[in-house]
Structure formats: C-alpha cells, structure tokens
Amino acid sequence: MARAGGRRFRVAAGIPMFRAMPPNSPPRPKPAPASPAPPPPRQGAAGVEGEGSAPREREDDAGEPSLSGGHPVTPDGRYLVVRGRLWRRANPALDEACRARLMRELMAARRDKGAAMRRGDAAAREAARARVDAAKHALGERGPVWWDDGAPDLNRRLARNTPYAEWFARLPKGRGERS
C-alpha cells in the first residue's frame, strides 16, 4: 500500500485503486493559504486575439517577428512554427468580436469532444469534431487560404522544406523548437 494525497491506494494492473483512510488515521495537514496573486495571462490558439489569447505578431526591439503563444511567426504572418512545422494562423481580417466569438466556440467544441470521448459517446464526439472543424474553417485556419496573392498553402509542412527554410534556419536555437 502507498499513500498519496491523504488516501491509501494499491495498484492493480497499473491502475491506482483508491479507498478512504480508516478513521484512526491522523488528519492530513491543511496547506498554507497562498498569497493572492493575479493568475498568469492565458494564451489562445494560433495567435488569435480575443478573450484570453496571445497578442498578434509585433516587431520586437531587434526587428524580429515576435512570438505567438510562445511560437515564432513567419515574416508574412501567415504561419506559426511549432516543433519545426508550419501551422496556418487565423485570418487577421476578422474583426475582434467575431474572432473572440469563434475562439469561444472552438474551445467549447474541443471541451465537448473531450467529454464525449471520456463518456465513450461516439455520436457526440463526431458532432463536436464537426463543430471544431466549422470553427477552424470560419477562423481561416482550415479550408481555402485567406490571402489572395496566389501563394500555396504550406500548412503542416516542415519549415525546413518550404520557402521559409532560410528564415527558419536563422532562428535562435529553441525558437520554433527545431531539432
């Protein structure tokens, strides 16, 4: 038997099985109250501004593109780089109210999908997946590209195999998480 969080448990087939502590066990000490500190700012998906999201691309003091949610953004602002791969950003032409509404819908659909998967409800999971897809299409992260200069969509491609390869190679180690 092991003890975790004031409960005794045993592991059967790799799954912890919890049971209440017997009444003669000493009470668990209460944690000291933490000083009230403001929560850290939340960051949104794909660098989209709105409620609880990261700011859009801005030039920093060195003239380099800033990070979007901690990830570098291509010089033209179309993609962000995550683990060396390009991911299309949301359409910057969307007004802030519309963007915020779509981001709320996207996050709600993702939560609903996770809940449906935990319940084992395949029909609800598929409905939630369709809502995620619709929100991503509306944001411009999927479907037809939102730019009109005829440049191809390089979504999900490795940055080193695209026209952004030179730019990506110049990124400092750790930005874009290149290997």
pLDDT digits (tens, 9 = 90+) for 25-38: 666 666 666 656 55
What value does the mean pLDDT of the chain take?
Answer: 78
Residue range 74-106, pLDDT digits in tens = 999 999 999 999 999 999 999 999 999 999 999
Task: Give CA–CA dist 51/119, Å, rounded.
Answer: 29
pTM of the model: 0.61
* Residue 42 φ/ψ, nearest 5 degrees: -85, 155
Torsion sign across C-alpha atoms 69, 75, 81, 84: negative
The residue ranking higher by pLDDT, 76 or 12, is 76
Task: Give the tokens for residue 173.
Answer: 């180690």
